[in-house]
Structure 1
Amino acid sequence: MNDFAKLISLVFVFTAPKYLEQQRLRKDLLRKHCAGVNQSLFNLNNIDLNNLIVDDQHGIIYCYIPKVACTNWKRTLIALKQNEPYPDPMSFKSNMVHKFDRFRLLKHYSMPERKHYTKFLFVRDPFVRLISAYRDKMLNYDQYFYEGYVRVILQRYKNQKNVPVKYNGTKRTYLKPSFHNFVQYIVDPRTEKYAPFEPHWRQMHRHIYQKYDFVGHQESLQEDARQLLKMLKLEDAIKFPPSYENMTSGNSVMEWFQGVPIEDRRKLYKIYEKDFQLFGYRRPTELLDD
């Protein structure tokens, strides 16, 4: 880069709106860590494409990551499929928005049809996301999570005997793993050896490919959503649902990890280290260093 080009770059940094510079840094970070990785829309298999939702009318491809505002983004995309004026996204019940038949997925398109649409995703502090997954799926489990995960964790790490095989619709205190039990399950080498992580705690980088036009963060969800809708020229047509108080805040992370031995914390960090690096989240030294 010559001196003039460097000067222009510096002028952009100091004069561009804050969110543009923020987006540049987030996308540069992804490109830096994904350098040399041959992964694009044209060589992903159908399993990888399951979480890429396409909106042809508005030229959008949304890579959704569970436990990162994906319910409200799906609500918004469903609303955009209706006639104008678009309905309030919150009018769509949460238990309905995760049905695949409501969306056109990228896997439904042939190679030539995979056009250059505006591609976006939202990410979150990896440990905060993990705590949210624990609260939602280990403490408030349904049949799928009880029979597939809770029961295994209780038997393997809580040493509980005679755990009911079938889910009977009740959530008893003694049938709830501790957060440490959940961490033990994730860091156990046997867990991923026999099956991929469940999507709600699968590493975020495993949901994505590297070329995105917009990278949003859960921590600045409302502002990022506003800027994305503006970028899509939809800011006057639809409003992203409001955020409610987040019960899994960054400030509570230390409290959640109090019962987790430092050895397990470090193993857990290694599993999610790439997520911390790829999306610009700092290493939580207060949890990992003696």
Structure 2
Amino acid sequence: MEITQLVFQHVTLPTEVDLLVDVLEQNLLWMQRVTDPQYDLEEVRKTQVERLSLVNKYCLNHTSPGGYHKRADWLYFLTFRDVSWGLIPKTGSTNILRMVCIMIGPKCTKITGYPDEHHYVPDLMELTTDLDSFSPWYSNWPTRKFLYTFVRDPWQRLVSTYIEKVLFSDLYIKLCKFGNNINFVNFNKKLKEENKTLTYSQFLKYCVIEQYEKRGAIAMEPHYRPQSISGAFCDLSYSFIGKTETYVVDINVILQQYNVKDVPAIIAKAKQFRRPNEKKNMTLSSYLDRWKSVDQETIMKLQKIYSVDIEMFGYPEEPY
């Protein structure tokens, strides 16, 4: 199977409050498929109403998120068992991908690299016929009954990206060079000559902010591109928006949509493939120190870049 590059068309959004309520009710039909008694379904429903309402209200008032006048020109969707998942990097997607592979079986789990922590979505989609991707140019997207994604606090997401891509690998070079970022290339060459590591502040300045100021949010590298753009939230009607901050509850609801009969078992099996989560522990333990090293001018620029994420998903306006 070939990867389909998804190009999103603008969808006319509801303009009346009662129509907005109807949209929310339609998006919450998945509640009928949640049968696990250990979850307070009313609380889960309330949380989803709040999340979906924030997104829909923002989209009603902004014909183009953040004034960007564009959408990201691609987004991977893994569709299995009539459930479609939009992958946004650095939101816990690797672990969900493991679970999908476990559901599919050996022909998925035996793909080279599994269960390595690095992403291999293109290979997975090319080799596994159980998965589909769709483009609105060729199909009536979205066609699946249940469409979901996960988002994350943008301040936490930046720290996590820095730790994983800079401190644990040299993958940041590819990320920061994204879009022919010459200023980073020259600066990184100087760092290498001095045998120094890119600091968190430098990562924000020469990678994140540089890409935004040179080419706009739409052209930023996906690992730190605003999620509001990557997920095309004003173009697609999501049934469920999970958050990494409430992952334990959200993933249980998601797995039931896949008709998983033994949810605890598949979660436990996925954990067996995980290495000690040093990066997560470092993100949590060093979070405040990372941000205290950043000057206020940089934080203000980041507030502008991620203003839509902050408003659309109800995240804090400052990192601490």
- TM-score with structure 1 length normalisation? 0.72
- AA aligned to 2:259 is K
Asked if 1:192 corresponds to 2:220, the answer is no
Pick the aligned partner of 2:122 from 100, 108, 113: 100
Asked if 1:236 corresponds to 2:236, the answer is no
Q: Looking at both structures, which has the greater relative contact order when contacts are Cα pairs under 8 Å and sequence separation is at least 6?
A: 2
Match of 2:51 in 1: 26
1:146 to partner: Cα distance: 7.8
CA distance in 2, matches of 1:147, 1:22: 36
Match of 2:238 in 1: 212
CA distance in 1, matches of 2:52, 2:308: 15
Indicate the SS of the match to 1:174.
coil
Q: 1:201 to 1:47 in 2, by over 3 A?
A: closer
CA distance in 2, matches of 1:130, 1:257: 10
Indicate the SS of the match to 1:247.
helix
Q: 1:232 to 1:109 in 2, by over 3 A?
A: farther
| The 10-residue stretch of structure 1 (185-194 or 200-209) with the greater mean CA deviation from structure 2 | 185-194
CA distance in 2, matches of 1:151, 1:247: 33
- The superposition leaves residues 142-165 of structure 1 with CA deviations (integer Å, 9 ceiling, x where unpaired) of 486288369953733x7x63847x
Match of 2:143 in 1: 115
1:129 to partner: Cα distance: 0.4
1:187 to partner: Cα distance: 2.1
Asked if 1:127 corresponds to 2:127, the answer is no
Q: Residues 30 and 278 of structure 1 are in contact (CA less than 8 Å); yes or no, is this contact kept in structure 2?
A: yes
Q: 1:192 to 1:254 in 2, by over 3 A?
A: farther
CA distance in 2, matches of 1:285, 1:230: 34
Indicate the SS of the match to 2:190.
coil
Q: Residues 131 and 248 of structure 1 are in contact (CA less than 8 Å); yes or no, is this contact kept in structure 2?
A: no
1:100 to partner: Cα distance: 0.9
1:59 to partner: Cα distance: 0.5
Query: Higher Cα Rg: structure 1 or 2?
Result: 1
Indicate the SS of the match to 1:107.
coil
Q: 1:154 to 1:144 in 2, by over 3 A?
A: closer
CA distance in 1, matches of 2:56, 2:191: 50
Indicate the SS of the match to 1:121.
strand
- The superposition leaves residues 187-216 of structure 1 with CA deviations (integer Å, 9 ceiling, x where unpaired) of 235443598111111111111133111111
Aligned positions of 1:14-93 closer than 5 A: 17-35=42-60, 48-55=73-80, 58-82=81-105, 92-93=114-115
Q: Residues 71 and 229 of structure 2 are in contact (CA less than 8 Å); yes or no, is this contact kept in structure 1?
A: no
Pick the aligned partner of 1:223 from 219, 242, 249: 249
Q: Residues 159 and 283 of structure 2 are in contact (CA less than 8 Å); yes or no, is this contact kept in structure 1?
A: no
Pick the aligned partner of 1:145 from 149, 167, 174: 174
- TM-score with structure 2 length normalisation? 0.66
CA distance in 2, matches of 1:38, 1:131: 31
CA distance in 1, matches of 2:137, 2:306: 31
Match of 2:3 in 1: none
Total equivalences in the alignment: 257
- AA aligned to 2:134 is L
1:229 to partner: Cα distance: 1.5
CA distance in 2, matches of 1:229, 1:193: 36
Which structure 2 residue ranges, 5 or more long, are not aligned? 1-16, 26-39, 65-69, 126-131
- The superposition leaves residues 230-274 of structure 1 with CA deviations (integer Å, 9 ceiling, x where unpaired) of 244325266233485722556743211112111111111110111
CA distance in 2, matches of 1:137, 1:72: 17
Match of 1:273 in 2: 307
Aligned positions of 1:166-181 closer than 5 A: 174-181=195-202
CA distance in 2, matches of 1:94, 1:151: 31
- AA aligned to 2:246 is S
Q: 1:239 to 1:203 in 2, by over 3 A?
A: same
Indicate the SS of the match to 1:106.
coil
CA distance in 1, matches of 2:284, 2:217: 32
CA distance in 2, matches of 1:97, 1:35: 34
